[in-house]
């Protein structure tokens, strides 16, 4: 193969790589701004697929995928949260309050993950998410919300739910928004729109702490160039360039879509993650990872 052909093939591979990252960025931005979830369940496996296809060791690829995803989630969630805060002035305080306890829970979950078998908790959470998804999709008047009308967000409920969601995220490696939003809707009587905004603030805080941890733990260990610890700057830059503005403009769509439809969209994502936690991942069959 001539030098020109090799250069042409390298350029094609690089272009495909970048286009795939752009696709990830757009999807993550939409899922954050519209649904209040970080999109890590989508970012991590697709980045992992990209990195391993480039010949990077699977263990290293997984750490880079998680660390980079967390780094992307922080500014992306803030972008969506800023737009929601312009429309909903009551989301900042609960988002920060839950986020502070979420950071504490995330640290505890991460420390526990190496000592506690998580497969039982994974099954319980998976089944719970499937039930929540079905309930949100049906959206009957007899939903769980009616049973907890008097339960409001206070320092006590914030400490309990924030720590619980953070712990689950740290232990199981899934985004907090997918767990937090059903809690906000069903137990704390927030609207779907308010829950999306609060969730984005929560996610930004918890993801920042977790991303910093991956930078520190991967410092001097990750041999890939253009990286800060386990955060790859190339992946971060390309995904973030598209996810941040997409999250901002997607947040505007929340106020144009009926709340019932938002719940149904969120229910589909929740159902997918619940099925994934139970060991059935459609994406793994499609992309072969």
Question: What pLDDT band is residue 144 in, cutting at 50, 70 and 90?
Answer: very low
What mean pLDDT comes out for the span 186-198? 88
Q: CA-based angle 89:105:110, to the nearest 5?
A: 135
pLDDT class of 141 with cuts at 50, 70, 90: very low
Write down the pTM of the prediction.
0.79
The 10s digit of each residue's pLDDT in 84-127 is: 888 887 889 999 999 999 988 888 876 675 566 656 766 777 78
Evaluate whether 180 touches 199 at the Cβ level (below 8 Å). Answer: yes
- pLDDT at site 251: 86
Burial of 71 (0-12, 13-18, 19+ CB in 10 A): buried
> Closest Cα partner for 86 from 251, 230, 236, 243?
251
**Which of 64-68, 143-147, 196-200, 236-240 comes out lowest in average pLDDT?**
143-147
Q: Where are the domains of the chain?
A: 3-287
């Amino acid at each position: 193969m001539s030098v020109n052909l090799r250069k042409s093939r390298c350029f094609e591979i690089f272009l495909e790589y970048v286009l795939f990252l752009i696709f990830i960025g757009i999807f993550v931005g939409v899922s954050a701004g519209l649904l209040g979830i970080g999109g890590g369940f989508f970012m991590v496996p697709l980045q992992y697929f990209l990195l391993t296809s480039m010949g990077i060791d699977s263990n290293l690829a997984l750490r880079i995928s998680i660390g980079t995803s967390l780094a992307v989630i922080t500014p992306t969630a803030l972008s969506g949260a800023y737009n929601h805060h312009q429309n909903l002035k009551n989301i900042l305080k609960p988002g920060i309050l839950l986020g502070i306890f979420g950071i504490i829970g995330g640290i505890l979950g991460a420390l526990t993950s190496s000592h506690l078998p998580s497969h039982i908790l994974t099954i319980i959470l998976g089944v719970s998410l499937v039930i929540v998804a079905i309930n949100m999709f049906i959206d009957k008047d007899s939903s769980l919300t009616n049973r907890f009308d008097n339960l409001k967000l206070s320092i006590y409920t914030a400490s309990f739910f924030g720590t619980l969601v953070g712990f689950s995220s740290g232990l199981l490696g899934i985004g907090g928004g997918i767990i937090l939003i059903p809690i906000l809707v069903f137990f704390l009587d927030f609207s779907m729109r308010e829950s999306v905004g609060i969730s984005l603030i929560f996610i930004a805080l918890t993801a920042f702490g977790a991303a910093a941890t991956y930078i520190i733990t991967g410092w001097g260990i990750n041999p890939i160039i253009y990286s800060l610890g386990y955060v790859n700057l190339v992946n971060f830059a390309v995904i973030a360039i598209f996810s941040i503005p997409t999250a901002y403009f997607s947040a505007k769509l929340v106020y144009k879509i009926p709340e019932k439809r938002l719940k149904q969209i969120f229910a589909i994502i929740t159902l997918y993650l619940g099925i994934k936690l139970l060991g059935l991942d459609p994406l793994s069959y499609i992309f072969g990872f």
